[in-house]
Amino acid sequence: MNLYPNASIVVTQDRHFDLLRYAASSGKAIAIRELEDVGSIKQVSFHPPSRRRDGNGVVGKNVEFAGYEVAWGVHEFKAILVTVRTTPEYNNTSLIAIVV
């Protein structure tokens, strides 16, 4: 805790929580900026369609590790997203929010 001595740290492992997707779809004013001093790790992945006739599938980026500065109304905080792969089919994403 020496890095942020006067901060509160909140951790969630809710696998349904997606900060970036929530910010993009929310009608609320949320500003997210990737932190430049935190090296991010992103993996390009292909998601096939559920059925062959549903198209070609999509290519996307999965965030494995990244830091963000979040401004949500009058609140500002730093968020670290970490994805841990326990099996090839299951990802466990943790959000660590540092409220300064």
Residue from 5, 8, 83, 70 nearest 40 by CA:
83
Residue from 81, 9, 78 nearest 41 by CA:
81
Q: Indicate yes or no: pTM above 0.75.
A: no
Each residue's pLDDT tens digit, 80-92: 888 776 666 666 6
Q: Using an 8 Å Cβ cutoff, are 26 and 39 in contact?
A: no
Q: Measured between alpha carbons, how far is 64 from 81 in angstroms, rounded to an integer? A: 7
Each residue's pLDDT tens digit, 24-78: 776 777 888 888 888 888 888 888 888 777 788 888 887 888 888 888 878 888 8
Q: Measured between alpha carbons, how far is 76 from 98 in angstroms, rounded to an integer? A: 9
| DSSP class of 70 | E
